[in-house]
């Protein structure tokens, strides 16, 4: 099993300059600990995501880390001009010497979409076109495309990625029905939701790959959970019980501003202990966390686990200790 990291870079109650500096310090710790990849969410006009321009974080990571792969989970394709995004992806893959990971998606928040003056009913079609343009531009010397939303004629592709024909693709999946496309197109996934749902996503993904005759282990099939590791169960729970409610408030903040709730708010109850009861998180000693991941792996048959190890108002010291213990006392148990 490989291990990655998922991160919203959500509001921690500190100045933004400190939040960014701390996350880069933590990313260096991920690098030292041997994590496979660092996946950063993209959000706008909400305290859930301070990395509104994730490419800026990635540019810093290219020179602050050595082996850690990194990328968005996901770039919101309708929010970008495709040509600009092609050029940014090429730059980041070159700057990192081929470590960039390309997560792509539409964006699930209508309120973030509206803030960019986009029509939410059109963004699914825009996403599909933008994705075609993105792959064409990354894999060719000249870009031609004639679509409803985007048109290009003989545009020279001067910048090229290190990884051919393009960096590895990633997709976030919350419903089993949405697992077919990434499975059939060799796209790595990270699933979110309760264990019954994530298990169903992974099962559907593997079944689709088997139907097409593909290697079931040829892609990374992951799940993400909130995780805190400390020297004792009591210390880890103390941290998680304090930090999680702040993350949850950031998660629902933009929706609450419009008098609604996120569609999936039910899988994120107000208290961390209730989140644990749903098997949607764990906080404990390395032994406790190992047992949780073993149960997750048995239930879902995953080959990738990408926890949140930094969220809410966790301090830098708390996060670094959690990363250290996870790297030294949790990950080695799954090396085979």
Local confidence band at 216 (pLDDT 50, 70, 90 cut-offs): confident
Mean pLDDT of all residues in the chain? 97
CATH topology of domain 2-334: TIM Barrel (3.20.20)
Predicted pLDDT of residue 300: 87
**Distance between CA 169 and CA 166 in Å, rounded?**
8
Token code pair at residue 222 = 């992951």
Predicted pLDDT of residue 142: 97
- CA-to-CA dists, residue 193 to 4, 129, 201, 222, 312, angstroms: 17, 28, 10, 12, 19
Full DSSP string of 227-267: EEE-SSHHHHHHHHHHHHHHHHHHHHHHHHHTT---TTGGG
21-76 confidence digits (pLDDT tens): 999 999 999 999 999 999 999 999 999 999 999 999 999 999 999 999 999 999 99
Beta strands in 82-167 (DSSP E): 102-105, 142-146, 151-156
Local confidence band at 183 (pLDDT 50, 70, 90 cut-offs): very high
**Distance between CA 92 and CA 13 in Å, rounded?**
30
Contact 222, 304 (CB under 8 A): yes
- What is the pairing mode between strands 226-229 and 75-76? unpaired
Q: Is the pLDDT assigned to residue 336 strictly greater than 90?
A: no
Of 220, 227, 222, 223, whose CA–CA distance to 325 is shortest?
227
Local confidence band at 329 (pLDDT 50, 70, 90 cut-offs): very high
Percent of the chain with pLDDT over 90: 98
Full DSSP string of 265-278: GGGS-SSHHHHHHT
**Distance between CA 44 and CA 290 in Å, rounded?**
34
Full DSSP string of 9-56: ----SS-HHHHHHHHHHHHHHHHHHT-SEEEE----SSTT-S-SSHHH
**Distance between CA 104 and CA 170 in Å, rounded?**
6
**Mean pLDDT score, 246-264:** 97
- Taking each helix axis as running N to C, give the angle between helix 233-257 and helix 316-325, from 0 to 180 degrees, rounded to the nearest 10: 120
Length of the chain: 336
Helix (H, G, I), strand (E, B) or coil at 215: coil
Q: Is the pLDDT assigned to residue 322 strictly greater than 80?
A: yes
99-156 confidence digits (pLDDT tens): 999 999 999 999 999 999 999 999 999 999 999 999 999 999 999 999 999 999 999 9
Local confidence band at 168 (pLDDT 50, 70, 90 cut-offs): very high
- Taking each helix axis as running N to C, give the angle between helix 16-33 and helix 54-64, from 0 to 180 degrees, rounded to the nearest 10: 50
Query: Can you give the residue ranges of every domain in the chain?
Result: 2-334
**Distance between CA 111 and CA 302 in Å, rounded?**
33
């Amino acid at each position: 099993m490989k291990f990655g990291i998922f991160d919203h870079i959500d509001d921690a109650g500190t100045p933004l300059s400190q939040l960014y500096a701390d996350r880069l310090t933590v990313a260096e710790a991920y690098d030292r600990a041997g994590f496979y990849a660092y996946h950063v969410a993209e959000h706008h006009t909400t305290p859930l995501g301070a990395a509104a321009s994730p490419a800026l974080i990635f540019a810093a990571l290219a020179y602050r880390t050595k082996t850690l792969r990194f990328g968005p989970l996901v770039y919101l394709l309708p929010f970008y001009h495709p040509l600009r995004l092609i050029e940014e992806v090429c730059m980041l893959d070159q700057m990192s010497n081929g470590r960039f990971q390309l997560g792509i998606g539409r964006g699930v928040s209508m309120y973030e979409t509206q803030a960019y003056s986009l029509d939410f009913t059109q963004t699914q079609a825009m996403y599909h076109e933008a994705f075609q343009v993105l792959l064409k531009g990354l894999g060719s010397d000249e870009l031609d495309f004639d679509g409803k939303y985007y048109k290009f004629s003989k545009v020279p592709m001067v910048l090229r990625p290190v990884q051919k024909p393009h960096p590895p693709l990633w997709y976030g999946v919350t419903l089993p029905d949405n697992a077919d496309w990434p499975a059939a197109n060799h796209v790595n996934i990270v699933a979110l939701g309760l264990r019954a749902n994530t298990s169903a996503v992974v099962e559907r993904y593997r079944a689709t790959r088997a139907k097409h005759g593909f290697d079931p282990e040829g892609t990374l099939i992951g799940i993400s959970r909130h995780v805190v590791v400390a020297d004792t169960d009591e210390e880890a729970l103390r941290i998680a019980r304090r930090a999680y409610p702040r993350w949850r408030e950031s998660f629902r903040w933009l929706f609450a501003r419009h008098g609604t709730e996120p569609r999936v708010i039910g899988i994120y109850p107000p208290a961390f202990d209730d989140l644990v009861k749903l098997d949607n998180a764990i906080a404990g000693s390395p032994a406790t966390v190992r047992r949780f991941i073993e149960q997750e792996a048995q239930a879902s048959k995953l080959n990738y686990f990408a926890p949140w190890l930094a969220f809410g108002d966790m301090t830098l010291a708390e996060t670094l200790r959690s990363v250290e213990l996870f790297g030294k006392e949790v990950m080695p148990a799954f090396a085979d």
